[in-house]
Structure 1
Amino acid sequence: MAAQALSSQREIRRRNLSRVLYAVAEQGPSSRAAVAARLGLTRTAVSTLVDELLGSGLLTEQGPTPPDGGPGRPGTALALTDRGPCGLGAEIGVDHLAVCAVDVRGQVRARGEIGSAGRNSEPGVVLARLRRLVDEVAAQACELGLSPAAVAVAVPGLVARGTSTVVHAPNLGWHDTDIAPALTKMGTNTRSGSETALPTEAAGKPLPLIVDNEANLGALAELWLDSGRVPRDFVHVSAEVGIGAAVVLDGELLRGNRGFAGEIGHVPVRPDGPRCACGGQGCLEQYAGEPALLHAAGIAADGPRDAALAALRDRAASGNERALRALEEAGTALGLALAGAVNLLDPSALVLGGVLARFAPWLRPSLERELMGRTAAPGALPELLVSGLGTDGPLLGAAHAAVRGVLDDPLSYRAGIGG
């Protein structure tokens, strides 16, 4: 009984420490009194929690501030630190690798990106490049007084729930690939050329590693970074070479039994259509994926990706009939697939991300037309929103997922640094 009571007390303390951190994150610099009022805790309790967080280096004290903005004895403004822990987010794309470091305030402090021919490349080669890029960005973060707390990687494929194994990534050609060994083993320090522990290792131990589908992390980025506009129930659909979706219900990501929920790119919209890399036929990706869009518009997809997408946008903006027809057909295919999701899930909103966000003005008319004609429930359709994160959603979602572990469980972070 005593052990249970101690465990319960520790859990309450952990939860309240986390609540204080999130309160300061949401309010900005705040006095102890303001935090206590927001959380419904006594000032004494909040002061004790704040002292612990100050000792952990997660909070800092700034100048005096009137309590609650009113008259009276000034309080001391509390703010999240701009040093200390950060999250490393990484993205494996078909044609690029990207890494960024985000501090506990949610600010991007370091970033790196390189081109990488990922399609049908050996996983070991791609992951070795990613490891070097992760360590370069981690080193940049360390020079800013930051210390990586975890690494999260966004991948364009199915990830077995609770593991670091990419079960199937058709656009990379990967099967049953565990990416943890490449990101956690000892490597060569790029500065000294010696075999040594790199910034992704703390006290000789690998950092916690999170691996998730890029659409899932993109959806979490929408939820966390644009919560004033995006509701707590939505379907997020994004495209690059492939198309992925993620479902958020009441603020929680729907993962499915094995963690494979959201593969909307492989929903057949025309069962007699062309063969897909997944083995199916007539999948959504064959009509609304990036290569399909470019091919239908008559634009070569074997050159620089950004240049090809810019050409498609320019042609659409100038009224090029072939480009407009390609985008209309892609919108129609999206509408067919999303109508099924709307009928099944009844979300409050649909969010277009990635390349879909860039071409939303031309996709929207045919997409909405299909939704209107195929949605069974009466009344208004779900709100159709365009992501403000552009193509950075999965990368930002990964970095924030890594750093939020500190905000969610400051006790474990403190234990990790010897507090």
Structure 2
Amino acid sequence: MSARIMTASRAPVRQSSVRAHNLALVLQTVANSADRPSRAGIAAETGLTRATVSALVDDLIAGGLLTEHDPAPRTGAGRPAAGLALSPSGPAGLGLEINIDYLAATVIDLTGDVRHRFLAQRDQRPLSPASSLAEIGALALQALEAATADGLAVAGAALAVPGLVAPNGIVRVAPNLDWQDVDAPALLHALPGLGDLPIAVDNEANLAALGELRAGGEDTFLYVSGEIGIGAGIVLDGELYRGNRGWSGEIGHVTVYPDGRPCRCGANGCLEQYAGQEAFSTDLDLAASALGIALSAVVNLLDISVIVLGGAYAPEFPRLRAGIEAELARRVLTAGLAPVTLRAATLGADAAVRGAAGAVIQQLIDDPAAFLNGTA
């Protein structure tokens, strides 16, 4: 055992760390509850003392994260307890999305309800990265103004982009936008009105997968986002799998026909060239077959039993399903033992922008102390 590990293992736990952990524990207990738990119920579930829970709940209510409801009418002996719930008037999350032919912005409150939604249809490919980011910045300001008018304070924003994003938010490459090494957070923060807003940047398919996970259902699935480009988010046991460098999920550049059409990435026969939005609008059968081929490879490799089709695929699901399932049945080794479940995304075409806003909300729920301390 190294000296560094020995030192770390003997380091005292700070009181502030304990409080932060317990605040998150209480807030997560309320967020994950099917009903409105009482303070006593939270104490029983978490193992914290009633006095500790009461103090933490008071802090969360004062910070606008929780609201306390009047107790239900008494049905038996004893005093009924007030129930706790996430506050719909508390801090909100702003989701932003830059895609190939549209921009989107959505404000979601703590309960997950969409409060405002803005969409601008425009081909982004002729624009420079700075111009595209200026346009999404203008849309973000509209959303912030609408949230303010609604009495909501936006705690942060997340931007979804169709490309490879480094942990620091730099877009390393987005082939269909012709972006390379774009410092999206810095460009956004330089825009008027956005300088003080915490902004994260992530791959659009990853954020869409997280949105789908938050919406409920399976905890292991492959989310496929079909736009002009194609991305995928891999969720394993309730966690997003990002890969070694955070760049997993580029299913659009899986080769389906090695001698096929040239792709903007420089290769030939990529899935995007046969099943991207512009391709399936002219030949839906070919798109379904190409998707089935690529998805079969993923299932054989990762043993994933649920595939969720989102983005532009969601409304086209009834017409894509048969062709995809035919290829899965033919190509997946275990198809006869355990057929793959194929379904449309619960959040439809809004999954990425809603997932982006939801990521901000999840961060609040996971670390309420940072928000309460004014560092969120």
Task: Check the 8 A contact 1:349/1:383 in 2, yes or no.
Answer: yes
Q: Structure 2 CA distance, aligned partners of 1:340 and 1:150? A: 38
Superimposed CA distance per residue, residues 365-399 of structure 1 (whole angstroms, 9 cap, x where no aligned partner): 22112112211236112221211211000000000
Q: Which residue of 1 aligns with 2:4?
A: none
Task: Check the 8 A contact 2:328/2:340 in 1, yes or no.
Answer: no
Confirm or deny that 1:332 pairs with 2:289: yes
Which of these residues, 283, 292, 297, is aligned with residue 279 of structure 2?
292
Q: What SS is found at the alignment partner of 2:91?
A: strand
Superimposed CA distance per residue, residues 136-180 of structure 1 (whole angstroms, 9 cap, x where no aligned partner): 2112112222212111000011112x1221111111111111111
Confirm or deny that 1:37 pairs with 2:24: no
Q: What SS is found at the alignment partner of 2:68?
A: strand
Q: Structure 1 CA distance, aligned partners of 2:326 and 2:299? A: 14
Distance 1:70 1:411, change over 3 A: farther
Task: Check the 8 A contact 1:66/1:73 in 2, yes or no.
Answer: no
Q: CA deviation at 1:251?
A: 0.8
Task: Check the 8 A contact 2:104/2:118 in 1, yes or no.
Answer: yes
Which of these residues, 247, 256, 260, is aligned with residue 247 of structure 2?
260
Superimposed CA distance per residue, residues 54-90 of structure 1 (whole angstroms, 9 cap, x where no aligned partner): 22221122212369x7642021222222223111110
Which of these residues, 360, 371, 391, is aligned with residue 317 of structure 2?
360
Q: CA deviation at 1:126?
A: 1.2
Percent identity between the two aligned chains: 46
Q: Which residue of 2 aligns with 1:393?
A: 351
Q: Structure 2 CA distance, aligned partners of 1:274 and 1:417? A: 49
Q: Structure 2 CA distance, aligned partners of 1:117 and 1:330? A: 22
Residue correspondence of structure 1 range 130-279 to structure 2 within 5 A: 130-160=136-166, 162-187=167-192, 198=193, 200-201=194-195, 206-225=196-215, 227=216, 229=217, 231-279=218-266
Q: Structure 2 CA distance, aligned partners of 1:354 and 1:391? A: 4
TM-score of the superposition, structure 2-length normalised?
Answer: 0.92
Q: What SS is found at the alignment partner of 1:37?
A: helix
Distance 1:417 1:346, change over 3 A: closer
The one-letter amino acid of 1:404's match is: Q
Q: Structure 1 CA distance, aligned partners of 2:297 and 2:133? A: 36
Which of these residues, 25, 32, 47, is aligned with residue 26 of structure 1?
32
Q: Structure 2 CA distance, aligned partners of 1:14 and 1:348? A: 37
Q: Structure 2 CA distance, aligned partners of 1:250 and 1:48? A: 33
TM-score of the superposition, structure 1-length normalised?
Answer: 0.82
Q: CA deviation at 1:131?
A: 1.0
Task: Check the 8 A contact 2:88/2:111 in 1, yes or no.
Answer: yes
The one-letter amino acid of 1:387's match is: A
- The answer for unaligned runs of 5 or more in structure 1 is 188-197, 297-325
Q: What SS is found at the alignment partner of 1:65?
A: coil
Q: Structure 1 CA distance, aligned partners of 2:58 and 2:299? A: 48
Q: CA deviation at 1:209?
A: 1.6
Give me the CA root mean square deviation: 2.2
Q: Which residue of 2 aligns with 1:116?
A: 122
Q: Structure 1 CA distance, aligned partners of 2:220 and 2:236? A: 5
Q: Structure 1 CA distance, aligned partners of 2:205 and 2:80? A: 46
Which of these residues, 379, 382, 405, is aligned with residue 340 of structure 2?
382
Which has the larger displacement, 389-398 or 129-138?
129-138
Task: Check the 8 A contact 1:153/1:211 in 2, yes or no.
Answer: yes
Superimposed CA distance per residue, residues 281-302 of structure 1 (whole angstroms, 9 cap, x where no aligned partner): 01111111111112x3xxxxxx
Superimposed CA distance per residue, residues 30-75 of structure 1 (whole angstroms, 9 cap, x where no aligned partner): 32123233434333332122122122221122212369x7642021
The one-letter amino acid of 1:394's match is: A
Q: Structure 2 CA distance, aligned partners of 1:262 and 1:236? A: 9
Q: Which runs of 4+ in 1 moved over 6 A?
A: none
Distance 1:13 1:66, change over 3 A: farther
Q: Structure 1 CA distance, aligned partners of 2:103 and 2:73? A: 47
The one-letter amino acid of 1:405's match is: Q
Distance 1:213 1:186, change over 3 A: closer
Q: Structure 2 CA distance, aligned partners of 1:238 and 1:186? A: 29
Q: How many residues align?
A: 367
Which has the larger displacement, 105-114 or 386-395?
105-114
Task: Check the 8 A contact 2:134/2:191 in 1, yes or no.
Answer: no
Q: Which residue of 2 aligns with 1:190?
A: none
Which has the larger displacement, 81-90 or 11-20?
11-20
Task: Check the 8 A contact 2:221/2:234 in 1, yes or no.
Answer: yes
Q: Structure 1 CA distance, aligned partners of 2:367 and 2:307? A: 31
Task: Check the 8 A contact 1:288/1:330 in 2, yes or no.
Answer: yes
Which has the larger displacement, 388-397 or 58-67?
58-67
Q: Structure 1 CA distance, aligned partners of 2:184 and 2:375? A: 26
Superimposed CA distance per residue, residues 296-355 of structure 1 (whole angstroms, 9 cap, x where no aligned partner): 3xxxxxxxxxxxxxxxxxxxxxxxxxxxxx222211111110111101111131111112
